[in-house]
């Protein structure tokens, strides 16, 4: 069972992920264990102070090293006591490595993860040097704290754990799994306000459906995230069939755009 410990000033925020939806049900089924740690519980004074003004001046406050280190160490020790050989400590930070599917899959294979959700202007650099294994970012933007980023990481990892999704194929067909965006999806009714489901999806021909879905994934990735397609081509190449499907998609799209003018 994957162990998740989170160091956060706002433990109640995590009720949203641990008590709802797929991730809530996964916790009930013991696919993972979750425990929050509030650094205020490790503060050195009666005011439970965890932040102070930055040396050198400047705006805002910085989270202090001592209460954070004590909280991280308590979380790590709990995981060690639970049988985790080496808990991985991650700081959610805009300065970190961008979270991608490959990293999610590697984290899903871990035994235990300790997440640090910072606040204010950041955390004392000495805490990062002493306790953090890696920094991870969920995007090139700044939020009020690391809690939402931590929940995003948890959600992405938990859905990859064995038995969490009702259909094992769901995870296998997610966006980015094959280095591409997902294809379009449709359900009933067959026609809605004049817009019909693509006929190939109604054909029952699984080979044709698979080719159509691959073509749509290739085309959508080229149009919406060409950087993702370029990275996929760099890492694993693009087959002759895939190139033909992509060219076909782009030609059909150009024709449709021209007809719409």
Catalytic residue positions, numbered:
94, 121, 159, 174
Torsions phi, psi for 37 (to 5 deg): -135, 120
Positions of E strands within the chain: 2-7, 32-37, 51-52, 62-63, 88-98, 112-117, 134-137, 191-192, 195-196
Q: Helix or strand or coil: residue 34?
A: strand
Look up residue 181 and give its DSSP letter: P
- CA dist., res. 121 & res. 206, Å (int): 53
Angle at 257 between CA 219 and CA 248, to 5 degrees: 35
Helical H segments across 63-131, by residue range:
65-81, 101-108, 125-131
């Amino acid at each position: 069972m994957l162990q998740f410990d989170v160091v956060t000033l706002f433990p109640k925020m995590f009720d949203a992920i641990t008590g709802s939806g797929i991730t809530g049900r996964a916790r009930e089924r013991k696919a993972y264990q979750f425990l929050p740690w509030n650094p205020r519980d490790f503060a050195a004074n009666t005011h439970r102070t965890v932040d102070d003004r930055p040396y050198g001046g400047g705006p805002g406050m910085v989270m202090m090293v001592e209460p954070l280190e004590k909280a991280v160490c308590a979380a790590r020790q709990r995981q060690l006591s639970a049988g985790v050989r080496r808990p991985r400590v991650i700081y959610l930070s805009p300065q970190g490595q961008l979270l991608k599917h490959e990293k999610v899959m590697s984290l899903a294979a871990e035994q235990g993860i300790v997440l640090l959700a910072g606040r204010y202007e950041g955390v004392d650099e000495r805490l990062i040097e002493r306790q953090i294994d890696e920094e991870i970012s969920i995007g090139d933007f700044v939020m009020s704290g690391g809690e939402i980023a931590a929940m995003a990481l948890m959600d992405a990892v938990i859905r990859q754990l064995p038995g969490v999704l009702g259909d094992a194929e769901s995870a296998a067909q997610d966006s980015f799994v094959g280095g591409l965006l997902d294809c379009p999806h449709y359900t009933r009714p067959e026609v809605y306000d004049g817009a019909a489901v693509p006929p190939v999806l109604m054909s029952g021909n699984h080979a044709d459906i698979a080719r159509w879905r691959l073509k749509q994934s290739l085309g959508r990735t080229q149009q919406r995230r060409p950087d993702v397609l370029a990275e996929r081509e760099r890492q694993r190449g693009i087959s002759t069939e895939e190139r033909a499907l992509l060219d076909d998609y782009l030609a059909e799209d150009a024709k449709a755009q021209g007809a719409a003018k």
